[in-house]
Amino acid sequence: MSKDAELVIKLKNPALKDIAFSELLDAYQERLYWHIRRIVTTHENADDVLQNTFIRIYKSIIKFEGKSSLHTWMYRIAYNESIRFLEKNNKKRYDNIDEVSESNLASLFEDAYLDGGEIQQKLHKIINGFKEKQKLVFNMKYFDDMSFRQISEILEISESTLKSTYYTAVKIIEEKIFL
């Protein structure tokens, strides 16, 4: 039995749930934080979304059926919480999408939690120019090191479409990174 399967059993046991949840936090908090952070951009927003994600996981674990891995299920919740956050907070009006992108980039580069050189900033600028789905697919594959199958389950997009999206993004980055 895998470590995650054992963890799920403990999480579903009321007597062990709190201890198991602490184990879950230790195992997944940092990975989910960075997954969320790449979607919502700032540290403060990522912390808020991460907290909401773990609250939802805690409340919903009893409904977890094991149709996907625990990892994939939690990433799906984190993704959904991130999208909810963005939809709720994008009520702020901008004249066009470029203003949103520039605002997000400015926040990212001013953030004390981001430590990166010129190449990393250029990479983030290029990625930020992608359409939302392409950005998400690239981040999940490249930064989160997820398989196309896992990404497919989370985003509910076919693996072949994901591969095409990812490799198109890689080609764009390769063309632009050293310009």
Q: Where in the chain is the domain with CATH 1.10.1740.10?
A: 1-96
Q: To 5 degrees, how large is the angle CA 14–CA 15–CA 18?
A: 80
Q: What are 119's two structure tokens?
A: 């190449």
Closest residue by Cα to residue 47 from 61, 56, 60, 34: 34
The tens digit of pLDDT for each residue in 132-148 reads 899 999 999 998 999 99
pLDDT for 34 beyond 50: yes
Residue 73 CB burial class (10 angstroms; 0-12, 13-18, ≥19):
buried
pTM for the model stands at 0.78
How many C-beta neighbours within 10 Å does residue 117 have?
A: 8
Q: Candidates 3.20.20.70, 3.30.870.10, 1.10.10.10, 1.10.30.50; correct CATH number of 116-179?
A: 1.10.10.10
Q: Which residue spans of the chain are classified as CATH 1.10.10.10?
A: 116-179
Percentage of the chain exceeding pLDDT 70: 85
Domain 1-96, architecture per CATH: Orthogonal Bundle (1.10)
Query: Which pLDDT tens digit goes with each residue over 38-90?
Result: 999 889 999 999 999 999 999 999 999 988 999 999 999 999 999 999 989 87
